[in-house]
Amino acid sequence: MPQPACFQALRRVPFWVVCAASLSACAGANDLDGRAVYLGDFKLGHNVVIAPNAVKGPASREATGEEWIEAVSRSVDARFSRYEGPRFVNLGISIDGYVLAVTGVPLVAAPRSALIIRVTAWNDAEGKKFNEEPKLITVVEDLSPDTAVSSGLTQTKEEQIENLSVNAAKLIEKWLVEQNEEFGWLEPDGVPAKDKDTPRFQPGIAPLVVDPPEDAATAPDTETATAPDTETATETDPATDPTPSDAETDADPAPADADPTPVVEDPAPVT
């Protein structure tokens, strides 16, 4: 089976170049315990992931379409189910290709892991796409002590798939934020968010509060003076993802009020 043009291009580009371009986009993907970034009226409708022609890249472990569908669907649900706006947005995600690094030669030819997806967002109420051409996104694994040499040496296949899926969901969120900033996709009045005084974070979505362990020691009651209340806030600027070219096909999710188990056909070329 011939490989997609995007995947052939990835093979010709040194992987460190891809990592350098995408490092800032993947950094901070494990931020679900923080405040959700502003996405206007967004509420996740259908989350449809398909993998009809997922191509395994060179020097890669084998993964099934079902494994990718399960992992990406779970990561997208975890990230976007936090938003409770009044407008349903359906996401269609197609898995195009992947590389799951195998054991290589450290510091010389150790491969990296990557995932290529295409994303289409649908305005459920209007029954039409926000983007006529699917958004092509290249996802790479985070650089960490476990992946500095090669994740093939330090991670199982399941860990690699999970990490790439988490990063993929983060990049989809960043893309939607950018489109809302530039074109007002998710604004009730359609005015780009950059032209209005919009918050940096989604109102009403607080960081996750982790309860202390049950066996934590309880200090005896004491009388202490309370310092004056102070309010502090720490903001982390969202990272930017690379700007890859649009792909040629997409996965069309069904409207949110339709059958909750839509039948997804192979994406057809956009003409």
Percent of the chain surpassing pLDDT 70: 56
The reported pTM is 0.67
| Confidence check: pLDDT of 124 > 80 | yes
| Confidence check: pLDDT of 117 > 90 | yes
Pairing of strands 114-123, 128-129: antiparallel
**Distance from C-alpha of 121 to C-alpha of 90, rounded to nearest angstrom:** 6
Q: What is the pLDDT of residues 48-62, one digit of tens each?
A: 999 999 999 988 999
Query: What fold is seen in the domain 5-35+42-170?
Result: Rossmann fold (3.40.50)
Cβ density class 117-133: b for 16+ within 10 Å, e for less: bbbbbbbbeeeebbbee
Confidence of residue 81 (pLDDT cuts 50, 70, 90): very high
**Distance from C-alpha of 190 to C-alpha of 183, rounded to nearest angstrom:** 7
**Distance from C-alpha of 132 to C-alpha of 134, rounded to nearest angstrom:** 6
Q: Tell me the average pLDDT across 221-230.
A: 41
Task: Return the DSSP state at 27.
Answer: T
E-only strand ranges, the chain? 42-50, 55-56, 87-99, 114-123, 128-129, 135-140
| Confidence check: pLDDT of 14 > 60 | no
| Confidence check: pLDDT of 264 > 60 | no
Whether the CB-CB separation of 46 and 253 falls below 8 Å is answered with yes
**Distance from C-alpha of 24 to C-alpha of 175, rounded to nearest angstrom:** 14
Strand partners, 121: 91
